[in-house]
Amino acid sequence: MNLDDALHTFIVEGRELLEQMEEALLQVEQAPGDDDAIAAIFRAAHTIKGSAGLFGLDHVVKFTHVAESVLDRVRNHQIGIDSDLVAVFLAVRDHLGMLLDRIAAGLEPDAETEQSGQALADRLKAYLDGQPAAGRPENALVERPVCLEQAPPTGGADTDNWHISLRFNPDVLRNGLDPLAIIRYLATFGRVAHIVTLVDAVPGLTDLEPEDSYLGYEISFHTDADKATIDSAFDFVRDDARIRILPPHSKVSEYVQLIRDLPEEEMRLGEILMGCGTLTPAELDEALRRQEAAADGAPHPIGEMLVEQNIVHPPVVQAALDKQKQVKEQKSAEGSLIRVNAEKLDEHINLIGELIIASAGTSLIAQRANIPELSEAAARLSRLVEEVRDSALTLRMVQIGATFNKFQRVVRDMSAELKKDIRLEISGAETELDKTVVEKIGDPLTHLVRNSLDHGIEAAAERIARGKPAHGTIRLNAYHDSGSIVIEVSDDGGGLNRERILKKAIERGLVKPEQQLGDDEIHNLIFEAGFSTAEQVNNLSGRGVGMDVVRRNIMALRGTVEIQSAEGMGTTMRIRLPLTLAIIDGFLVGVGAASFVLPLELVVECVELSADETQAAQGRDHLNLRGEVLPFIRLKELFDISDPSQPAVDPADEEGFGDGRAASGSSGDTATAVASDPELDFMLHPVRRENVVVVQYAGHRAGLVVENLMGEFQTVIRPLGVVFNGLQGIAGFTILGNGQVALILDVAGLVHRVATRDRRLNAGVSFAMSE
């Protein structure tokens, strides 16, 4: 293992641990008695300290150590945890995060960092009742209440020191671990009283493999830490070493056992233990005598042996169980997860995109070749490609919960700053969405949450006056809805003030005073650039930048945002995003020579637009769909597509969209024969027939009038170039099996356009999606 890799892993894991720590801290703040959460905080600090020690990051160890000491007392209920202490630990977590960032950047801590670290350490030390704030490292340690087991039992050795026996496997150096680093780490929380370096196993000079480790160590160690702490020093070498730790005043028989277990000669070990000061000569004699006795005597029953050997040592057993559980959890998590470089995954997805296009081409050729076997093979291929696509896309899916949880901290800190009592409720945390989307949604969400905190939730007095609970609530919710993910940020605050927004909009000339606007339109005004109705500008929000950025960011993800607000009741911001950014199931339609793709999930149904209905609409572009009014757009007019010459079929066209027109081409002769029959004529020239594709987006329905329906099509979305950024109604393009380009329609934009068309015409103010 390369050291840089290991350090990188340390930093990644460190950050994860800090996140867990923060989560647990916020949990503890709500439920101070939550021992599991406290244990989780402790574990995080402890693990960071341990790993930092291995990398020789002494400043991290030193700082974390103090925090850990306080946490240990909290864990033992010697210190109660309250919101002040949580605040201190949140600062500790931030400081550690900063230290990690600096390590990641290859920087030493600067004076400012050290100063803030020192200030925090001092605050922490205040919790360690009256212990000297600085001094020898042992001083910072927690004085543990003396365990009963550690009271000198009769027949125990005299020494106050722990005895640690270490034998490393030859590979330990190659695994990137230096035994010396561990001994150095031990010295951070105790004093190495004696150490015997055993060189017996080192082979002759010529046989020596310099990369193998041959040395063994017998250490006599003076510390106030408990066995679990000492044990944890060896967390990283547990697989690479034989470790035995004997508490002070252990029974002689334990040393006997130790001697018996070690590979060196027994006599020699006895001497070593004596050399270490662990055993007195008399104790050694006793030990050796016992050993002989044990050799001839009948074996002790196991239980008796265990008790005799004082092996059942509650804190140790607990530590072992915790450890085991932790390892098990880690193992199972590790077993089911692999860290993959995001770039590799993107490349993979891109390749699958190419594969889909290639497979569409194959299908087309197979269809034309008219060989049943080939068609069958092509069909099987496209089915498999589709499955591969689906599974590849799920690889990118992550749960939104982690993003939501970050807001716990935002809400906590900001509500303290604003002196409001605000709670955050999270639901739908397990909703999955594309990783790219998750990364990009963070900023807009932060804006929305801050807005709700600052402007949405009223001060407590005002809330009580309105008959609402004094504490405000912000809800984050996520769910899937027809091919989109919906993320809601809602608050139970004052809601948007309709009049004030309208007044401001008129002031700014966004709206004319005589205009009649619906609630939705008024609410949407807050997305205009530079629009703010806040009476007070503070450092959190209200400066009028933000909401327009939010909308722009969300639109860049092909999403939309809508507002639902009831005055005095609260506001809900609803963000709607496509599930994935790369590949969709499309619905291919044709207008003239052009083809377009709609996201299949948004298509509700297809109906025929007969001449009667066109007539009935009287040029108003509304359709009576089973008694409901359905506004529609003619794509032909919208995109100004010229008619292909009629009735002759453009050969290029036929290549492109075989289905609809093949019939008309091959039955040309019959068509002339029965041209007099209007019904037959109509059927044979389906080009004349118009179809309405009914699409639904965010609760609105609209019809898109097209000429040909060509069915489902797997679509790899390619973004349009920068030049086309301003284009409305088009979200991207894709390549068809025959190499032609088809435009992907921005259904959200079109639906919106239809919904607001009439008013837009009347009002002269554009609410179209992208301005």
Pick the binder of other proteins from 9, 30, 197, 318 (CB under 8 A). 197
- Interface pattern 259-298 for other proteins (x via CB under 8 A): ----------------x-----------------------
> Any bridge partners for residue 587, and if so which?
598, 712
Cβ-in-10-Å burial (0-12, 13-18, 19+) of 562 comes to middle
- When asked if residue 243 is in the footprint of other proteins (CB under 8 A), the reply is no
Q: Which is nearer to other proteins, 179 or 546 (CB)?
A: 179
- When asked if residue 343 is in the footprint of other proteins (CB under 8 A), the reply is no
Stretch that binds other proteins, among 211-219, 287-295, 588-596, 735-743 (CB under 8 A): 211-219
* Distance in angstroms (rounded) separating the CA atoms of residues 178 and 198: 16
- When asked if residue 374 is in the footprint of other proteins (CB under 8 A), the reply is no
Residue 64 tokens read as: 């974390």
Task: Give least dist CB 202 to other proteins, A.
Answer: 5
* Distance in angstroms (rounded) separating the CA atoms of residues 451 and 551: 14
* Distance in angstroms (rounded) separating the CA atoms of residues 363 and 378: 5
Residue with token string 């089973």: 626
Number of residues located near other proteins, criterion CB under 8 A: 28
Task: Give least dist CB 272 to other proteins, A.
Answer: 8
Pick the binder of other proteins from 180, 321, 371, 768 (CB under 8 A). 180
* Distance in angstroms (rounded) separating the CA atoms of residues 345 and 343: 5
Per the CB < 8 A criterion, the answer to whether 695 and 633 are in contact is no
Stretch that binds other proteins, among 46-54, 193-201, 284-292, 701-709 (CB under 8 A): 193-201
* Distance in angstroms (rounded) separating the CA atoms of residues 17 and 46: 10
Pick the binder of other proteins from 61, 183, 476, 594 (CB under 8 A). 183
Q: How many helices (H) and strands (E) does the chain have?
A: 27, 21
Q: Which is nearer to other proteins, 60 or 273 (CB)?
A: 273
- When asked if residue 198 is in the footprint of other proteins (CB under 8 A), the reply is yes
- When asked if residue 213 is in the footprint of other proteins (CB under 8 A), the reply is yes
DSSP letters, 114-142, are: HHHHHHHHHHHHTTSTT--SSSSGGGGS-
Q: Of 571, 544, 327, which is closest to residue 449 (Cα–Cα)? A: 571
Cβ-in-10-Å burial (0-12, 13-18, 19+) of 228 comes to middle
- When asked if residue 210 is in the footprint of other proteins (CB under 8 A), the reply is yes
Give how far Cα 520 sits from Cα of 242, 533, 545, 661, Å: 70, 17, 20, 44
Task: Give least dist CB 236 to other proteins, A.
Answer: 15
Radius of gyration over every alpha carbon of the chain, rounded to an integer in angstroms: 36
- When asked if residue 192 is in the footprint of other proteins (CB under 8 A), the reply is yes
Pick the binder of other proteins from 15, 102, 123, 174 (CB under 8 A). 174
Q: Please tell me the chain's helix, strand, coil percentages from 3-state DSSP, rounded to the nearest 5.
A: 50, 20, 30
Pick the binder of other proteins from 217, 236, 587, 632 (CB under 8 A). 217
415: number of Cβ within 10 Å = 19
- When asked if residue 6 is in the footprint of other proteins (CB under 8 A), the reply is no
- When asked if residue 187 is in the footprint of other proteins (CB under 8 A), the reply is yes
Q: Which is nearer to other proteins, 2 or 536 (CB)?
A: 2
- When asked if residue 102 is in the footprint of other proteins (CB under 8 A), the reply is no
- When asked if residue 211 is in the footprint of other proteins (CB under 8 A), the reply is yes
Pick the binder of other proteins from 15, 62, 194, 689 (CB under 8 A). 194
What is the longest distance spanned by two Cα atoms in the chain?
A: 124
- When asked if residue 199 is in the footprint of other proteins (CB under 8 A), the reply is yes
Q: Which is nearer to other proteins, 183 or 755 (CB)?
A: 183
Pick the binder of other proteins from 39, 91, 133, 173 (CB under 8 A). 173
> Any bridge partners for residue 221, and if so which?
162, 192
Stretch that binds other proteins, among 184-192, 226-234, 412-420, 514-522 (CB under 8 A): 184-192
Residue 532 tokens read as: 């703010």
Stretch that binds other proteins, among 76-84, 208-216, 374-382, 606-614 (CB under 8 A): 208-216
Stretch that binds other proteins, among 214-222, 345-353, 433-441, 501-509 (CB under 8 A): 214-222
Give how far Cα 34 sits from Cα of 39, 66, 80, Å: 9, 22, 11
Q: Under the rule (CB under 8 A), what is the footprint of other proteins?
A: 173-174, 178-180, 183-184, 187, 192, 194-200, 202, 204-206, 208, 210-211, 213-215, 217, 275
